[in-house]
Amino acid sequence: MNRLRRILQWASLGAIAALLCLCAVGAFLGSARATALFNSLPLAAGWVLLAAMFAAGVVAFRSFRRSPSMLAIHLGCLLVICGGLWGSRDAHRLRQSPRRGQMAMLEGSSSAALLTDAPEPVRLPFSVRLVRCWREYYPSAETRWTFFSVQADPDAEEGYRAAEFDAPDGREVPLPGTDARVQVLQYVLPPGGALDAHGRAAPPTVKLRLARGERWTVKLLVAHDECPYEQLELTDLYDDEVDWLRAGAPVLVFQRPEQQVRDYKSDLAVLRDGHEVARKTIEVNDPLHYDGYHFYLAELGQAHGRPYAVLNVVSDAGLPAVLAGFALLLGGVVWRMWVRPGPRRRANATEGTP
Amino acid sequence: MIAALALKPTPLGALMLTALALHVLALPAWAVRRAMGQAVFAAGFVAAAAAVVLRATQTGQPPMQNLFEVFLLLGALMFPLSVLSRRALGVGAEAIDAALAAAMLFGPAMIFSDAAQPLPPALQSPLFVPHVAAYLLAYVILAKAAALAAALVVAGDRAGEGKLVSRAQAVRTLVRAALPLLTAGLLLGAVWGKLAWGDWWNWDPKELWSLASWLAFVAYLHVPPGAAARRPRLVGAIVVLGAALILITLLWANLAQRFAGLHSYA
């Protein structure tokens, strides 16, 4: 038995060293290739062997059974490996259940189709409805937009000329390169989290009066999430000048003040047989959990003028074992290193693991 | 993230420079008289702690978001660790602590950009502070352990003075003190990863380096005591390796494009 214990002790050191080297190799490979490496068949066998070593250690070392902290540490590691194996891609494939997929939905619509790496979407036994989705922004001290007047110019290197100009609140200023004038009537930059009449985060907006001679028009520019620039063609002022239009209309370009996104949120409802069975506002770090799956907000955007969201859907198979393993491992390490640091061993040092 | 070597002409910059200068001055002060060295070290801590508080007040969030804030906090944590390790663990070598603190403060004082950014959505989690705090506390303890281990590798073991433990025992004591914190940082990060990205482990470069550093210290504690007593220098080298892996986790994984991944914002 002593011989077995000595072998296990040095084998555990060897396994730790091998895993350490593999981690360093995996870090150079990048996440995608490292995932493939650590989920490959040889390494899957390695994980099983490691789990067997933990189990053998618990059996072979009496100190493990006598010391609750040692038992907790090694059982914790065993649970984490077992949970990881059970929740792995290949284990899901063997059980013919999807491990990870995506759902894309327009606001107000619902879907049960889970897009995975399989050729056909997987039908979930329930559907998910995207009630609404929105971004929240940090308040910004900056409210003024940057204005550019852009005109086509074949002689210019880029094919156009752009002139930045200042438009103080309320004062009418000439539009560079044209005979038009622009006046900012109001800058509206809602504080972070402010909602508009439809319950969405209101985007930064600027209200303008554009004039040329006796003609004038009022425009409201609303910033869109996807692009920091908004542009306005001055056709209302120039539509009678055919030659000018042919040459290329001057365009007002507005760069909205930068706002950093504070959070992405989405209201989700789970429907089963037409009835709502779960509902939650999900955000980053706070997914919806239903029927063995977590639903994460992966992407928000606009398609055909309607907001849409892409959800990452991830199976929670093996997660309870992993979390229990974490708790045992951490509790065991804290107990072993801090609460009872002194080794409770006999003079025989062959059992001397930490 | 990185600026050219330059002073920061702000009150925060002045505080950090003062803290850096005092930590450097503590080294010759120790040579004159231990009490003087300790007093200068304590004054340096006050300046570093004031810089941490000022930064937190300016940004309105815990100063743990980027390398500037992390190294500032690491530098400020060194003095309390030094006092605690002498009183609670019987580990001395305060001059090493002051030198380490000076090295840690050099980055925020002279190199890293102090541009403040609001917390991105992924960092707004109740796990942010415990995850980073556990790692930072572990890192300061292990930095001291690694410095003593390097001395062990170069000069061999040395008995402690008075009630202090020997060099080899000091390394072991410090590693044992840090391992629960390192484990907590790793596991809290995994739980956070599950909540934020869907998987508790993503094989991301930073995750892999942090696991590698944890494994190095686990390996150190797995060396049978007999072998550790026979070859203290070899075993000490494992701790130096672990500290090198922490440096890679903390710096290289953030600064090198080579390791771009989920943690690139850090």
Structural domain tally of chain A?
3
B234 touches chain A (CB under 8 A): no
User: Within this chain, do residues A186 and A243 fall inside the same structural domain, yes or no?
Assistant: yes
**What's the mean pLDDT in A33-38?**
93
Cβ(A185)–Cβ(A167) below 8 Å: no
B50 touches chain A (CB under 8 A): no
Q: What is the pLDDT of residues A168-215, one digit of tens each?
A: 777 888 887 777 888 888 776 554 444 444 444 556 677 888 888 888
Q: Which of B125, B215, B253 sits opposite A285 (nearest CB)?
A: B125
A143 vs B130, more confident = B130
Question: Is B215's CB within 8 Å of A31's CB?
Answer: no
Question: Is A329's CB within 8 Å of B204's CB?
Answer: no
Q: What is the pLDDT of residues B10-39, one digit of tens each?
A: 999 999 999 999 999 999 999 999 999 999
A19 touches chain B (CB under 8 A): yes
Enclosing domain of residue A276: 100-137+261-315
Question: Is B121's CB within 8 Å of A100's CB?
Answer: no
Q: How confident is the model at residue A257 (pLDDT cuts 50, 70, 90)?
A: low
Burial of A288 (0-12, 13-18, 19+ CB in 10 A): buried
Output DSSP code: residue B101: H
B121 touches chain A (CB under 8 A): yes
> Chain-wide mean pLDDT for chain A?
83
C-alpha to C-alpha distance for B220 and A342, rounded to whole angstroms: 17
A348 touches chain B (CB under 8 A): no
Domain boundary among B98, B116, B134: B116
User: Within this chain, do residues B109 and B143 fall inside the same structural domain, yes or no?
Assistant: no
Question: Is A296's CB within 8 Å of B198's CB?
Answer: yes
User: Within this chain, do residues A121 and A267 fall inside the same structural domain, yes or no?
Assistant: yes
**What's the mean pLDDT in A31-50?**
93
Most confident of the ranges A150-154, A261-265, B40-44: B40-44
Residue of B nearest to A140 (CA): B118
B226 vs B131, more confident = B131
A324 touches chain B (CB under 8 A): no
Domain boundary among B116, B150, B169: B116
- Please tell me the predicted confidence (pLDDT) of residue B258: 60
User: Within this chain, do residues B93 and B164 fall inside the same structural domain, yes or no?
Assistant: no
The secondary element (H helix, E strand) that includes residue B154 is helix B128-155
- Please tell me the predicted confidence (pLDDT) of residue A248: 60
- Please tell me the predicted confidence (pLDDT) of residue A353: 35
Question: Is A330's CB within 8 Å of B187's CB?
Answer: yes
Enclosing domain of residue B25: 1-116
- Please determine, for residue A342, whether its predicted confidence score (pLDDT) is greater than 60: no
Chain B CB contacts of A264 under 8 Å are 121
Q: How confident is the model at residue B157 (pLDDT cuts 50, 70, 90)?
A: confident
Q: How confident is the model at residue B216 (pLDDT cuts 50, 70, 90)?
A: very high
Cβ(B181)–Cβ(A335) below 8 Å: no
Question: Is A138's CB within 8 Å of B118's CB?
Answer: yes
> Chain-wide mean pLDDT for chain B?
91
Question: Is A35's CB within 8 Å of B258's CB?
Answer: no
* Exposure string over A195-206, b if 16+ CB within 10 A, otherwise e: eeeeebbbbbbb
Q: Which range, of A140-154, A162-176, A301-315, B81-95, averages the lowest pLDDT?
A: A140-154
C-alpha to C-alpha distance for B165 and B159, rounded to whole angstroms: 7
User: Within this chain, do residues B151 and B264 fall inside the same structural domain, yes or no?
Assistant: yes
- Please tell me the predicted confidence (pLDDT) of residue A183: 87
Question: Is A337's CB within 8 Å of B225's CB?
Answer: no
User: Within this chain, do residues B145 and B111 fall inside the same structural domain, yes or no?
Assistant: no
- Please determine, for residue A347, whether its predicted confidence score (pLDDT) is greater than 50: no
- Please tell me the predicted confidence (pLDDT) of residue B253: 67
Chain B CB contacts of A314 under 8 Å are 198-199
A258 touches chain B (CB under 8 A): no
- Please tell me the predicted confidence (pLDDT) of residue A166: 75
- Please determine, for residue A265, whether its predicted confidence score (pLDDT) is greater than 90: yes
**What's the mean pLDDT in A62-90?**
92
- Please tell me the predicted confidence (pLDDT) of residue A249: 62
User: Within this chain, do residues B141 and B109 fall inside the same structural domain, yes or no?
Assistant: no
User: Within this chain, do residues B99 and B129 fall inside the same structural domain, yes or no?
Assistant: no
Cβ contacts below 8 Å, chain A against chain B, sum to 124
- Please tell me the predicted confidence (pLDDT) of residue B98: 96
Q: What is the pLDDT of residues A269-327, one digit of tens each?
A: 999 998 999 999 999 999 999 999 999 999 988 877 788 999 999 999 999 999 999 99
| CA distance readout (Å), B139 to A157, A341, B202, B217, B256 | 54, 20, 23, 12, 20
User: Within this chain, do residues B112 and B124 fall inside the same structural domain, yes or no?
Assistant: no
Question: Is A100's CB within 8 Å of B196's CB?
Answer: no
A350 touches chain B (CB under 8 A): yes
User: Within this chain, do residues A216 and A282 fall inside the same structural domain, yes or no?
Assistant: no
- Please tell me the predicted confidence (pLDDT) of residue A191: 46
The separation between CA B162 and the C-alpha centre of its own chain, rounded to angstroms, equals 27
Question: Is A285's CB within 8 Å of B212's CB?
Answer: no
Cβ(A333)–Cβ(B180) below 8 Å: yes
Residue of B nearest to A352 (CA): B224
Q: Which range, of B67-71, B141-145, B256-260, averages the lowest pLDDT?
A: B256-260
User: Within this chain, do residues A26 and A73 fall inside the same structural domain, yes or no?
Assistant: yes
Q: So what's the ipTM on this one?
A: 0.93
